[in-house]
Amino acid sequence: MERALAPQKGFSDGVEQKNRIRRLLTSFFKERDCFTLVRPLTKEENLQNLESMDLDQLRPEFHQQILALRRTILNRMKPKTLKTKTLNGEMYAGLVRSYIDAINEGAVPNIENAWSYICKNECMKAVQESIETYDNIIREVLHNKLPLPIEELKNYHIMGKERAFALFRKRAVGEAADEFAKELRKRIKVKFSNLRLENEKESNVSLFLSYN
């Protein structure tokens, strides 16, 4: 395989084009290996229906070689990274989707655009999960407790806000995180304003009941 990838001598357009492909392959695939596999089946007619065959119908040698190949691949696999950030499954799927969209639109896939796409998606999810965290905490700690003194209400709000931002900082990535952090802060502020109004309403109801 390495001999096949070695540059060939010559200066013709055909040789240069083939050498260009060889350079690209050796550049993009730094780590290379070669596995030879026996024919999975001995009968030619069965090879045409290989996808429908069960494993126990294949040659044992072929099965063992496939398992060895699989182990080698899994042992050498490294997490996909972009901009030094390790990508999870959703982020990697987003990266692939951005490349496909670019290709379908006739453009050349761009790493910077792909990274911005990933960051935006991750930050949007981080904001939503942080809001849900804040809501869950407030719902749990204030269950059947309203009305409360405003200072106590603020303390619960600060606790929920701190946990929400801790989650956001853990999930958000990229330069877009600062803008989305501002959005998160605004949304939590609105939620606290509504919470104060609800607390005041409950307080007024309590006063009315106490006077009657």
What residues make up the domain containing 175?
Answer: 120-211
Is the bond leading into 79 cis (omega within 30 degrees of zero)?
A: no
Instruction: Tell me the pLDDT of the chain (212 aa) as tens digits.
Output: 888 889 888 888 888 899 999 988 888 888 888 888 999 988 877 888 888 888 888 889 998 999 999 999 888 888 888 778 888 888 888 888 888 888 888 887 787 888 888 899 899 999 999 999 999 999 999 988 888 999 999 999 999 999 999 999 999 988 889 999 999 999 999 999 999 999 998 887 655 555 55
Number of domains in the chain: 2
Note whether residue 89 is domain-resident: no
Are 136 and 198 part of one and the same domain?
A: yes
Note whether residue 88 is domain-resident: no
Are 124 and 207 part of one and the same domain?
A: yes
Note whether residue 131 is domain-resident: yes
| CATH number for 135 | 1.20.58
Are 148 and 207 part of one and the same domain?
A: yes
SS3 142: coil
Instruction: Identify the sign of the CA torsion 40, 45, 48, 52.
Output: negative
Instruction: Identify the sign of the CA torsion 39, 45, 46, 52.
Output: positive
Confidence (pTM): 0.62
pLDDT of residue 25: 87
Note whether residue 114 is domain-resident: no
Note whether residue 111 is domain-resident: no
d(CA 116, CA 173): 10
| β partners of residue 85 | 82
pLDDT of residue 206: 55
Residues ≥6 apart with Cβ < 8 Å to 15: 8, 9
Are 129 and 204 part of one and the same domain?
A: yes
Are 57 and 127 part of one and the same domain?
A: no
Are 142 and 207 part of one and the same domain?
A: yes
Are 67 and 147 part of one and the same domain?
A: no
Note whether residue 151 is domain-resident: yes
DSSP class of 95:
H
d(CA 170, CA 111): 23
Rounded (5°) CA angle 77-80-83: 145
pLDDT of residue 97: 85
pLDDT of residue 154: 95
Note whether residue 37 is domain-resident: yes
112 half-sphere exposure, CB direction, 13 A CA radius? 0
Note whether residue 12 is domain-resident: yes
